[in-house]
Amino acid sequence: MRGTTHAATESPGPPFTIEGRDGLARAGTLRLRNGSVQTPCFIPVGTLGTVKSLTPEDLMAVGAQIVLGNAYHLYLRPGMDVMRKVGGLHRFMNWERPILTDSGGFQVFSLARINKVEDDGVVFQSHIDGSTHRLTPELAVDIQTVLGSDIMMALDEVPPADASYEHMSRAVARTANWLDRCRVRHAELTEQAGLLFPILQGGSEPDLRAESIQRTVDLGPWPGIAIGGLSVGESRPIMLEVLDRCLPLLPEDTPRYLMGVGYPDDLVECIQRGVDMFDCVAPTRNGRNGSAFTADGRINIKGARFAADTGPLDPDCACECCRNYSRAYLRHLFVCDELLGLRLLSLHNVAFLLKLTQDARAAILEDRLTEWATDRLARYRADNAA
């Protein structure tokens, strides 16, 4: 059975090596205890220990290097007693490659029916059974250590995009204080814990973003830094504006991880700006609803125009779905509510984003990123997308 994890090394963490640049974009390799990750990369989201409808074998077949799990959900179910007994998340889900786990901060603030944010942590009510729990920075690190995360995220406070300046400011300060506590707890667990990434907050406020970056850098060095608080309702221009301000302030030799962003054109825009890592539920959520990413734009496979279309979903894609099944058959599956349709479109969408980041990496290494990006964006945003 696959999924054996390896002991952590004595060093603070494997280095991130930048192997090529094209403008602000970088191609690198992040070495983790369960394997290396080449960047730019997309991380499929397996919140509950599974990328919805897809097996680990499916993910490996389309080139997934790393997957994401969620500490909040796995802490509530199946729980840490079970995770200890089964030997961690790698063995539990039969995945031998690296795993990144989110601390659960976003879920605490977005899913919990009742929560009370305090300086010590968050008291929240389970969305499963209504039970009450307290999540502290230290517990967030402990949970992710039990899971066996290769990359664990520090606990942060995630305010909504429309939060007041005062709310954003308090979240920046609290996130920095919680990061310091995560750092201390992580140092006590060096032998067991994976790499710890901090998360930046500050919304779209330039001074708060700068404060969050400075406070985070002062507590470092870090093996990577995540940019949080985006893709929470703000427009694309605002997101890109925040990145344009933030990225030049980050350490040059660490990977930049943009959380929750996963539409094809967003990835291209952000890679050009120097982002290295992405995750998002978009490919599988869209796939389950009949929406497919293609080189020529997003299409709704349930449309009547595909009823007798014998062509592949995306002629440029070599995934299992595109190699073997026609648009007509895929539409039939969705019209008939057959589960196979959900799996095939989810698999294709994940494969599409993985290939997109692989192609971006190749373009960076060959000094042709601008040309590649211009072509990809023009095709994807063309008027014939439906």
For tokens 């072509």, name the residue.
375
**The 115-117 sheet, strands edge to edge:** 115-117, 122-125, 132-135
The residue annotated as part of the active site, out of 150, 156, 266, 279, is 279
CA–CA distance, 44 with 51 (Å, rounded to integer): 7
Question: Is 279 a residue of the active site?
Answer: yes
The residue annotated as part of the active site, out of 58, 102, 142, 314, is 102
The strand pairing partners of 293, in sequence order, are 298
Which DSSP state fits 262?
Answer: -
Tokens of 55: 């097996």
Closest C-alpha among 54, 62, 50 to residue 342: 54
CA–CA distance, 364 with 27 (Å, rounded to integer): 6
Closest C-alpha among 14, 16, 19 to residue 361: 19
* Alpha-carbon distance values, 113 to 118, 183, 281, 348 (Å): 16, 29, 22, 34
Type and span of the H or E element at 64? none
User: Given the DSSP bridges, would you call strands 195-197 and 151-153 parallel, antiparallel or unpaired?
Assistant: parallel
Tokens of 179: 């990061």
Distance of CA 256 to the CA centre of its chain: 12
Residue numbers annotated as active site: 102, 279
